[in-house]
Structure 1
């Protein structure tokens, strides 16, 4: 995941500060990945970093019969979306009403068919010229300039005839609520008495914690030029085209294309 390169932000500012630290990220294959759990923006990112390290270190390992394994990793930037129940743009369609405080955030996106194509192109490179990409990691994204979440909201609102909406919420209010959710979760975690007395946090609100703001409230711009140069990554769809296909599949299926998001723990953010 490209999000492993994101550094945590601090959104409570002193009066003389104009913007948070790490508010704008320009991410490419040379961006340093945090080396410690504390350096990652969330537990999610920390586990992704460990997973990538395991896969990359497996490159050139020898299996049964002396077969040599070649591995490589893709870092989609940032959110992967598309038909089938994604936790981002598809989740917006399922929820219909999506209160948002990130409509002005500029971010790169990665449409799922571009992601699938990148896997095939990288696999071909590992088979034909493994020395080029073996043991490496590559950022990939859609071929267009990054867009805002407001652009996503406008498109989904128009293509669903106004059914999918994005009411604008104040970021400071949402950050305060996020800290309250985090405090509640930690209170139950560290107190057996409270764990018995208080119900657990479930549903979408479990995602509303301060760490999420480092990912969603920052501007994230990904550069995939090295993937294009090394293994020939050539994305076929722009983000806008991908969103149009997402909504089209959703409407044609009567909403069933995003069925996974309707199950308990769908995980939309």
Structure 2
């Protein structure tokens, strides 16, 4: 029997990457090796290695071309989830660009140099919006017009630049004579069982998050696309399979990924997910929205004035307010048609899995 494919998963120890690795082991049939590449190897994908599938951990930084060349040598598929996410301005624009754009370029060059024909990029809905004006997007698809020229966050701008590059490279010839096929997946905000980014914020707030309601900064009239991590991982497997078996179907395409998670504002959604551990949110905004924006602009001015002497990073900025208060949701019809994507996990199961994991997290972190 011919050997299976070799997959490289960057960011493979992260929240999404580790789930992709687990799902590859559990569900992908034509596979013999998974190379889990990450700068932080403290965590190990939870699934035990399946007979005949080798899972190896590789310390590697996507900005290091030599490390990526070594990690990718002889591979068949690259799934690139690694990126630097920043919504508070903790990281410079130059660093974001170096990791998110230059790092992606390094991996694309590895595909060409090492004769790798399939590249799946983890993008984000934020490559489209919301923009600084807070223009809404209602049930958008990949062809829905939207002004993305003034994205709210530098993170979104770097991901947009990286995605555009990924799609431009589709169809290039590799050094070994193969054709490189690329595609991009655009999930909204991701939740689920695992180290969700929001948990860092909760942990910093201490035990007080369980004893008094969290302050709401967006009204319940807002609707946004959020989805379960297992469904995002499943979409990556389908995208990779499609690039391998019928590359002309998905090559050069971007896909919105969503599921049946109820369309709600973030505060309402996370209050529902976190109810079993006692986290609640106020019913009303902590302050009128115009006043929150005013405070955010004042904080931005203070940050600018003290920048030569002190690094001040406020927890509130106008970009966060815009994203939190803009109705912005999409459908996944194109992914269904071209990738065969349908969510593996329904909302009830996604919610239960997330809540069960949060109970264990609370016991571990606040015991």
State the distance in 1 between where 2:362 and 2:321 align.
32
1:154 shift after superposition: 3.8
1:222 shift after superposition: 0.9
1:7 shift after superposition: 4.2
Residues 248 and 145 of structure 1, relative CA distance in 2, 3 Å threshold? closer
State the distance in 1 between where 2:300 and 2:290 align.
15
Instruction: Work out which structure has the larger RCO, using CA pairs closer than 8 Å and 6 or more positions apart in sequence.
Output: 1
Give runs of aligned pairs for residues 118-133 of structure 1, distance below 5 A. 118-133=235-250
State the distance in 2 between where 1:240 and 1:187 align.
48
- Maintained 8 Å contact 1:103/1:149: no
1:63 shift after superposition: 2.4
State the distance in 2 between where 1:52 and 1:32 align.
18
State the distance in 2 between where 1:176 and 1:212 align.
13
Q: Select the residue among 201, 207, 210 that pairs with 2:312.
A: 201
Q: Which runs of 5+ in 2 are unaligned?
A: 1-123
State the distance in 1 between where 2:138 and 2:305 align.
33
Higher helix share: 1
Residues 24 and 127 of structure 1, relative CA distance in 2, 3 Å threshold? closer
Q: Which runs of 5+ in 1 are unaligned?
A: 11-20, 190-194, 258-269
- Maintained 8 Å contact 1:27/1:223: yes
Q: Which residue of structure 1 lines up, in the alignment, with residue 300 of structure 2? A: 182
Q: Which residue of structure 2 lines up, in the alignment, with residue 165 of structure 1? A: 280
State the distance in 2 between where 1:66 and 1:179 align.
54
Q: Select the residue among 152, 159, 172 that pairs with 2:269.
A: 152
1:3 shift after superposition: 1.7
Give the aligned CA root-mean-square deviation in angstroms.
2.6
Q: Which residue of structure 1 lines up, in the alignment, with residue 106 of structure 2? A: none
Q: Select the residue among 129, 132, 142 that pairs with 1:29.
A: 142
State the distance in 1 between where 2:290 and 2:175 align.
56
Higher strand share: 2
TM-score, structure 1 length as denominator?
0.76
TM-score, structure 2 length as denominator?
0.57
1:9 shift after superposition: 4.4
* Count of residue pairs the alignment pairs up: 232
Give runs of aligned pairs for residues 8-23 of structure 1, distance below 5 A. 8-10=131-133, 22-23=135-136
Q: Which residue of structure 2 lines up, in the alignment, with residue 234 of structure 1? A: 342
Q: Which residue of structure 1 lines up, in the alignment, with residue 129 of structure 2? A: 6
